[in-house]
Structure 1
Amino acid sequence: MRRRATAATATAAAFSAVLAVVALAVPAAAQDDSVTKFWNIDVNHNRDYTVGVEAARKRVFTIGATVSDPNGVRSVSFELRHGEEPAKADGLMVGRADCSKIDATTSYCEALLTADPNVNLHDNSVAGLWYLTPVAVDGDGNVTRADGLYHAYFARIKRDAYVSQTVATPQPVKKGKSLTVKAQMTVASWEKHKNVPLIGHQVLLQYRKGTSGPFVTLKKLKTDRNGWATTTVKATADGAYRYNFAGTSLTTASIGWADYVDVK
């Protein structure tokens, strides 16, 4: 059996260039026709290739790809690592795929991987970008690792964030009077195995007049040292208030439950 590699390991500059594009998978146009090809990489059936993980509960998710080789596809597995250099990776997930044949040379392969705060998410520093390496064995036993310059695949493993129920006081309120509107932001801590305040992050205070229609943004503000977003607004009409957090490269997005206010 011989081992084949599709390309040399990418430099840091090359990886940075890849991250600048919207699509996370670089087309394999430069790959020779004689080796295994991977395309339609799918992580967690999410357009952003994102997986959110709670503070103390493992998360099982899928990674899939269409794989082809002139000699057929015998088996496929997927490796996720945190760290650009494999030898220095500080997090690893591996899943062996189940493959369904499309034709004699092509299969669709999907694996289950597990992100676990008790095992491979040992601290919060591993949140963010993880490098994905598909590995295939063809019908002749040749191994292809798609981890080079022309196969820069990624997944985003993020800490789950939460916005609490929004509370607007006082209620009922007279038209033109001030309302205090607040909610708390928390985020999963894989180190402490519990949710902790999300400090100093921007959230949007949004309002919807009446009981239907879109929410519009009234204010942008940052959470305090305890994760609270608190502000005042003038009561103008019956409607609902909520806080919206867009997420970051390390945390998931979240929208809190709205509080409906009667204006007298």
Structure 2
Amino acid sequence: MRRRTTVAVVTAAALSAALAVTILALPAAGAAGQDDSATAFWNIDVNHNLDYTVGVEAAKKRVFSVSATVSDPSGVKSVSYELWHGEERAKADGVMVGAAQCHKLNEFTSYCEALVTADPNVNLRSNALAGLWYMTPVAVDGAGDVTHGEGIYFARVERQTSLSQTVVTPDPVKKGRNITVKAQMTVASWEQKKNVPLIGHQVLLQYRKGTSGPFVTLKKLKTDRNGWATATVKATADGAYRYDFAGTSLTQPTTGSADYVDVK
């Protein structure tokens, strides 16, 4: 059985996103010791998400899909996907693996999809594991040769966030009077197995006049040491207020439930 690496093919969207994060050296096709007919990996997909992003709660495992179209002149026997966290595979501080089910498209090509489990109780015990994970697809072709795909493959594993129900006081309120808009921001702690306050992160206070139409941003503010966002604005007309969090490279975006205010 021979072991080989290949220059894999990625989608344009994946390449553009990945280059914004990191650039990895790619081996040249036909290099010494390699098989010129190496396996090719196409259309890599993680969680059916354009950003290859997976959100994981504090104490609940998350199962997500990883897939690719795989081709080889000898056909495709089996495929698996290995995700790892760290600067290099040999020193990875986190690993997830999924064995794929392959569906033959023709004599040489198969669509191979695996289910991978991210679990705070098993492979996500540290909050430091949030962020970029690299992925190595591994294929065995019909001749028994093993190919480790090397290229710009990645997934973003992020901590789930939440915003509490927005509360506006007083309600009802006279027009022109000040109202206070509050909500608490929390984030999954994989270490503590519970949600904890998300401190010092920017959220947007948004308002929608009446009962329909788009929300507009009124203020940008940061959450306090207990995760609370608190803003004071003047009541101008009946409408709804809410907070929105855009997320970060380590945390998921979220939008809180709106509170409707009656202005007299």
The residue that corresponds to 1:154 in the other structure is 154
Equivalent residue in structure 1 for 2:84, among 81, 85, 90: 81
User: Alpha-carbon deviation of 1:5?
Assistant: 1.6
Q: Do the aligned residues in 1 keep the contact of 2:18 with 2:153 (CA within 8 Å)?
A: no
Say yes or no: does 1:69 pair with 2:101: no
Give the secondary structure class of the aligned counterpart of 2:90: helix
1:35 counterpart = 2:38: yes
Counterpart Cα distance in 2 of 1:249 and 1:113: 21
Partner AA of 1:108 in structure 2: Y
* Inter-CA distance 31–169: structure 2 relative to 1 (3 Å threshold): farther
The runs of 4+ residues in structure 1 deviating greater than 6 Å are none
Residues 213-224 of structure 1: pairs in structure 2 closer than 5 A? 213-224=213-224
The runs of 5 or more residues in structure 1 that have no matched partner are: 8-16
Secondary structure of 1:117's counterpart equals coil
Judge conservation of contact 2:3–2:147 (CA < 8 Å) in 1: yes
Shift in alpha-carbon separation, 1:262–1:123, aligned structure 2, 3 A? same
Q: CA RMSD in A?
A: 1.9
Please give the alpha-carbon distance, in whole angstroms, between the structure 2 residues aligned to 1:59 and 1:18.
23
Q: CA deviation at 1:82?
A: 0.5
Shift of the alpha carbon at 1:6? 2.1
Report Cα offsets for 1:199-246 as digits up to 9, x if no partner: 000000000000000000000000000000001000000000000000
Alpha carbons of structure 1 residues 49 and 25: separation in structure 2 relative to 1, 3 Å: farther
Residues in 2 aligned to 1:20 and 1:235: alpha-carbon distance in whole angstroms: 46
Matches within 5 A, 1:1-264: 1-6=1-6, 19-21=18-20, 31=29, 34-147=37-150, 151-264=151-264
> Structure 2 unaligned runs (5+)?
8-15, 31-35
Contact kept? 1:18, 1:152, Cα under 8 Å: no
Identical positions, percent: 73
Letter in 1 for 2:47: N
Provide TM-score, normalisation by structure 1.
0.91
Q: TM-score w.r.t. structure 2 length?
A: 0.91
User: For residue 10 of structure 1, what is the aligned residue in structure 2?
Assistant: none
CA displacement 1:113-172 (0-9 Å, x = unmatched): 00000000011000000000000000000000013xxx1200000000111110000010
Q: Count how many residue pairs are aligned between Structure 1 and Structure 2.
A: 250
Q: What is the Cα deviation at residue 29 of structure 1?
A: 11
CA 18–211 in structure 1, closer or farther in 2 if over 3 Å, else same = closer
